[in-house]
Amino acid sequence: PPPVTPPPVTPPPVFSITDVIVTEGTQPGQNQAVFTIALSEPSDVPENVIAQTTDGTAIAFEDYSPLAPTIVRFEPGETTKQIGINIVPDSLAELDEFFFMDLEPDPNGRAIAPDPQGQATIKDDDPPGVFVSDVVVGEGMFPGQNQAVFTMELSRQSTLVENIVVQTTDGTAIAGQDYTPLGPTTIRFEPGETIKTISVPIAGDSIVELDETLFLNVSADPNGRAIVIDPQGEATIKNDDSAQIIVTPPSPTPEGDSEIMPVNFTVALTNPVDVPVACNFNAADGTAPTNNATAADNDYQPTSGIVQFNALETSPKAIPVNIVGDTQIETDETFILNFFGLQNNGREVSWNTNQFTGTILNDDVVPKVSLSVDREAIAETGEQAIVTASLDMPASQDVDVSLGFDGEATLDADHTVSTQTIRIPAGELSGTTTLTSVDDLIDEMDGEGVDVSIVAVANAMEDGEQQVSVFIEDNDAAGITPTETDGNTAVAECGEGDAYLQFHDRHNGLR
């Protein structure tokens, strides 16, 4: 059989809707926005579409009579329908407004609506209304750098000249101080003009203050048609200045011996502020891991208070902290000055840091210590030598001199000392230790030497490199010379062969 050709596909009919422009009118029902709904081609069956209005800038019931969802039926062969929407008039001068007519095809029909919305524009036919804008402007750094530019607009074109009178008035901003005032001035709108701008110069400065306001008042020419809808524009002058509290600590200061000496922390503002600014302060012990000045040690005198700058004042303020001198040998020390409780009355005032350090320099002379000995040689028979540690000046604290012992002689075996640390009491100039020889049976040939040196000094310093020596003269005859090998056994040279001697303590009975 021959192939079957399918019937051609017929595209569905298309709904469309017109836009419309209508004047507002003066009487209810006087004017209508008439939308035309069209079908692209006749249909052999009924086609339904649902129509309803929705708001744009026009508001249902206030500016037009709304249409709830309504079925519009196209009978076979029909291609156009019209829907009229009543406009609600008023006597207000306003901008043109608009609303929409939305279409939704019957889902059970064939027709479609690719552009399902028509717009109605309601042209205001009342006398032109005058509107003025608000404006926000930065203050700037000098007068005239910035301007507050107000925009004044007529709601629609006028066929006549419209004269509008404007002038500035103070808000929180003050004429002549914060801005250049504008006296009563006529702004002329020629026929067809709808927009004018009015510029007010701002008096920029570096004063830190709150945002301020001024107003542009608008009034219509009584002989004109224009009606003032918005009689006042507001300009907000944004403060763009700020101030920082700058604190300069004192230079490191020598403490002195006993006097009380004030050191000054200097406080300043980088910019003037239109109201008083104040903050609290107090002096406190240093917070470093070491070398902190403390009030308990009377290194400085505690202090606290308030530092205040009057309105527009920037002159530096001095905060004195008393440091107390002494003769104590110590390291340089630090204390801190804290700032807190900033009172800035809402202004842009701050500080980078609120804690500052003062340094007290130790200026006390450090005593020097030297060593001497009263005898350079002593016999092995328990004789003594006195080692003296001497200061070149009294110290305000006890001085401890730690000693080291070197040489051929061995501490405790060949000699003893009464103390390895000589203490020189505060205010005195010397201290001693006694070195005593230890008698033994060992022939040390020519004897042994002891070298005494300084290992460490507290509260003073060593005068160069100090060392004294004491020679211990041997008193043992040559013969059997035992050599200690451990705690229990010694080997001795006897001339003929070797002899081995057992002993427990060479100093307690075994010979």
Beta-sheet strand order (sheet of 421-424): 377-379, 467-473, 448-458, 399-406, 421-424
- For residues 468 and 449, give the distance between their C-alpha atoms in angstroms, rounded to a whole number: 10
pLDDT on residue 497: 41
Phi, psi of 48 (to 5 degrees): -110, 145
Q: Which residues of the chain have pLDDT under 70?
A: 8-9, 93, 444-446, 476-511
- For residues 267 and 264, give the distance between their C-alpha atoms in angstroms, rounded to a whole number: 9
Those residues whose C-beta lies under 8 Å from the C-beta of residue 250, and which sit 6 or more positions away, are 263, 264, 265, 358
- For residues 10 and 105, give the distance between their C-alpha atoms in angstroms, rounded to a whole number: 18
User: At 68, which helix (H) or strand (E)?
Assistant: none
pLDDT on residue 366: 85
**Alpha-carbon distance values, 296 to 164, 231, 252, 285, 326 (Å):** 77, 70, 21, 9, 14
- For residues 101 and 97, give the distance between their C-alpha atoms in angstroms, rounded to a whole number: 14
pLDDT on residue 503: 47
- For residues 61 and 65, give the distance between their C-alpha atoms in angstroms, rounded to a whole number: 5
Q: What is the dotted CATH code of the domain comprising 129-238?
A: 2.60.40.2030
- Please report, to the nearest 10 degrees, the dihedral formed by the alpha carbons of residues 182, 186, 191, 195 taken in order: 20
Which pair of structure tokens corresponds to residue 28? 């209810």
- For residues 402 and 195, give the distance between their C-alpha atoms in angstroms, rounded to a whole number: 96
Q: Where are the domains of the chain?
A: 15-123, 129-238, 247-361, 368-473, 480-511
Those residues whose C-beta lies under 8 Å from the C-beta of residue 373, and which sit 6 or more positions away, are 385, 386, 387, 388, 435, 452, 468, 469, 470
Provide the sign of the torsion angle of the four alpha carbons 156, 161, 162, 167, taken in this order: positive
> b vs e for 264-286, b when ≥16 Cβ sit within 10 Å of the residue's Cβ?
bbebebebbbbbebebebebbbb
Would you list the DSSP string of 349-396?
A: EE-S-SEEEEEEEP-PPPPEEEEEES-SEEETTT-EEEEEEEESS--S
- For residues 422 and 369, give the distance between their C-alpha atoms in angstroms, rounded to a whole number: 11
H helices, E strands: number in the chain: 0, 39
Which pair of structure tokens corresponds to residue 363? 């200026």
pLDDT on residue 445: 61
End-to-end CA distance of the chain: 147
Does 129-238 match 368-473 in CATH topology?
yes
pLDDT on residue 500: 44
pLDDT on residue 482: 52
User: Does the domain at residues 247-361 carry the CATH identifier 3.30.2130.10?
Assistant: no
pLDDT on residue 327: 77
pLDDT on residue 224: 78
Beta bridge partners of 281: 305, 339
- For residues 273 and 205, give the distance between their C-alpha atoms in angstroms, rounded to a whole number: 11
368-473 fold: Immunoglobulin-like (2.60.40)
The count of other CB atoms within 10 Å of the CB of residue 454 is: 21
Select from 509, 449, 441 the least CA-distant residue to 481: 441
- For residues 134 and 127, give the distance between their C-alpha atoms in angstroms, rounded to a whole number: 23
User: Does the domain at residues 15-123 carry the CATH identifier 2.60.40.2030?
Assistant: yes
* 113, 135 contact by CB (below 8 A): no
Provide the sign of the torsion angle of the four alpha carbons 206, 207, 213, 218, taken in this order: negative
Would you list the DSSP string of 139-180?
A: --SSEEEEEEEEEEEESS--SS-EEEEEEEEESSS-BTTTB-
* 306, 345 contact by CB (below 8 A): no
- For residues 319 and 316, give the distance between their C-alpha atoms in angstroms, rounded to a whole number: 10
Beta-sheet strand order (sheet of 185-189): 135-138, 232-238, 212-220, 162-170, 185-189
